[in-house]
Structure 1
């Protein structure tokens, strides 16, 4: 079975969403699901230990060339998510995507269009989009 398109997923969410038809309910559930993604990543660090953080200043300067900045930028992460933590994070991201799609439905916004416009903006603006 292939993965559904964003449009198909958004339609599926529309058909399944019964309890949270209020925009306020969906907005707060989306926020809660985002916090759950962050919490799952934090637990991978603090409870499982499959990944570690070692954050420090990236050392970028205004005069730095993009290639040099790219070479010196770090994720601050050591290790990789174990399969258990990856499953948990993936599940929380799925819930987050569900509520994002539900919010799109209530606001009559196409999730596929949101992704396409953001991709176009990234292509057009490149690194300047990050500020």
Structure 2
């Protein structure tokens, strides 16, 4: 079975969403699902321990070349998600994408267009995209 396209998924969400058709309901469920993703990742650190976090300053300087700055940047993470934590994080991310799709449906926005525009922006702006 192949993965559905973003449009197919968005259509599926539209058919399945019964209870939360209110924009305010979807906004709060989307926010809640985002918090659940954060919580699942945090629990993989604090309860399971499959990943560790050791955050320190990145050590960038004004004189650094872009390649050197890219090599200097770190995720601050050590280890990988165990199978149990991976399943939980995937599940929470799935709920988050579900409510993002529901929000797109209510606002008459195609999720494919959102991804395409963001991809174009990334291609155009490159490293400067999120600064």
Query: Common fold, TM-score beyond 0.5?
Result: yes
Instruction: Tell me how far apart the structure 2 counterparts of residues 128 and 74 of structure 1 sit (CA, whole Å).
Output: 17
- In the TM superposition, residue 62 of structure 1 has moved relative to its aligned partner by 2.1
Q: Aligned partners of 1:64, 1:119: CA distance in 2, in Å?
A: 27
Equivalence for 1:80: 80
Gaps of 5+ in 1: none
Q: Which runs of 4+ in 1 moved over 4 A?
A: none
Determine the structure 2 residue equivalent to 1:124. 124
Provide Cα deviations, 1:78-120, integer angstroms capped at 9, x if missing partner. Answer: 0000000000000000000000000000000000000000000
Query: What are structure 2's unaligned runs of at least 5 residues?
Result: none
Partner of 2:90: 90
Match of 1:106 in 2: 106
The DSSP-based 3-state class of the residue aligned with 2:55 is: coil
Question: Structure 1 length as normaliser, TM-score?
Answer: 0.99
**Distance in structure 2 (CA, Å) of the matches to 1:46 and 1:9:** 33
- 1:41 aligns with 41
**What number of residue pairs does the alignment pair up?**
131
Normalised by the size of structure 2, how large is the TM-score?
0.99
- Secondary structure of residue in 2 paired with 1:78: strand
Q: How large is the RMSD of aligned CA atoms in angstroms?
A: 0.5
